[in-house]
């Protein structure tokens, strides 16, 4: 018997959530929940959950290690009209904010977001987000993939090259798995709907409250370059604002990774 149950998840949703939800599919194993929804040309509000991924995808072309049973591998498709005027780059930040809000409601610990969307407790990563998209003639379909560590076996923690944690480590307040998925669907649907209506501005200040390394010296790395400076904020379009010698430059998330400058 798997961890996730479709009927139970649906039973925790509100009427508005149920209207926006097109379908939930739950797989014991799949290559990648993101890939599945992208290939399927999904409708808005389509959710795919897996108990294991054999080719889990991470940001910047990395692999997302996905051990069997214990963690959540979740993707949702959302369609926006192309003519909508908001910068799409913000979607990863909104997804990160949504995941941080869900985790914070479950554990009595401060949750932080490392730009653009790594979810940390202290210095340890508990969830990662990968946003991918399909552009058709009329619409933009975005697939938001979330990997959330619920119970990460010790042997996997040793393989992962950065510090990690899981929800079970904060057991005292952790809720049931299906209720957790329902909370995630509820907050994501509400935030994505609001974003389509009024854009990122309404989330800007909330996001900053979760920001790890804000007003601290940071390094921004990709395969070719390294930029050092102070993270002084995020722009209305989701870019990180990096101050170097008194000049503030917007940096877009695409291929960059953020580190503290030690």
Which residues are known catalytic residues?
59, 125, 259
* 3 state SS of 131: strand
Query: Which CB, 146 or 182, lies closer to ligand BTN?
Result: 146
Q: Which of 42, 44, 75, 165 binds ligand BTN (CB under 6 A)?
A: 75
Is 147:96 a contact under the CB 8 Å cutoff?
no
149 binds ligand BTN (CB under 6 A): no
* 3 state SS of 259: strand
**Residues 202-221 as x/- pattern, contact with ligand BTN by CB under 6 A:** --------------------
Closest CA to 76 of 34, 134, 26: 34
Tally of residues, the chain: 262
* 3 state SS of 92: helix
* Cα distance between residue 9 and residue 4, in whole Å: 8
73 binds ligand BTN (CB under 6 A): yes
Closest CA to 23 of 119, 106, 13, 85: 13
Q: Which DSSP symbol is given to 245?
A: T
Query: Which CB, 221 or 243, lies closer to ligand BTN?
Result: 221
Q: Which of 47, 102, 126, 130 binds ligand BTN (CB under 6 A)?
A: 130
Bridge partner residues of 217 (DSSP): 230
> Contact region for ligand BTN (CB under 6 A) — 69-77, 83-91, 105-113, 184-192?
69-77
47 binds ligand BTN (CB under 6 A): no
> Closest approach of Cβ 201 to ligand BTN, in Å?
25
165 binds ligand BTN (CB under 6 A): no
Residues that bind ligand BTN (CB under 6 A): 32-34, 53, 56-59, 62, 64, 73-75, 118, 128-130, 145-147
């Amino acid at each position: 018997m798997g961890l996730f149950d479709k009927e139970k998840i649906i039973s925790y949703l509100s009427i508005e959530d149920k209207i926006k939800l097109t379908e939930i599919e739950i797989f014991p194993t799949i290559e990648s929940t993101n890939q599945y929804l992208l290939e399927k040309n999904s409708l808005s509000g389509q959710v795919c959950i897996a108990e294991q991924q054999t080719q889990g995808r991470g940001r910047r072309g990395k692999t997302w290690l996905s051990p069997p049973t214990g963690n959540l591998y979740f993707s949702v498709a959302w369609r926006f009209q192309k003519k909508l005027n908001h910068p799409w780059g913000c979607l990863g930040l909104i997804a990160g904010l949504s995941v941080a809000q869900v985790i914070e409601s479950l554990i009595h610990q401060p949750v932080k977001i490392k730009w653009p969307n790594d979810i940390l407790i202290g210095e340890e990563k508990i969830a990662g987000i990968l946003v991918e998209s399909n552009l058709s003639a009329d619409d933009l379909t975005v697939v938001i993939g979330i990997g959330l560590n619920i119970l990460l076996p010790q042997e996997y923690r040793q393989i992962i090259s950065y510090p990690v944690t899981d929800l079970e480590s904060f057991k005292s307040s952790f809720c049931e798995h299906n209720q957790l998925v329902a909370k995630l669907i509820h907050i994501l649907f509400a935030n994505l709907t609001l974003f389509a209506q009024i854009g990122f501005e309404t989330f800007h200040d909330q996001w900053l409250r979760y920001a790890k390394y804000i007003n601290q010296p940071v390094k921004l790395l990709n395969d070719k370059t390294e930029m050092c400076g102070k993270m002084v904020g995020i722009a209305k379009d989701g870019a990180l604002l990096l101050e170097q010698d008194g000049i503030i430059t917007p940096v877009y998330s695409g291929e960059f990774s953020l580190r503290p400058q030690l």
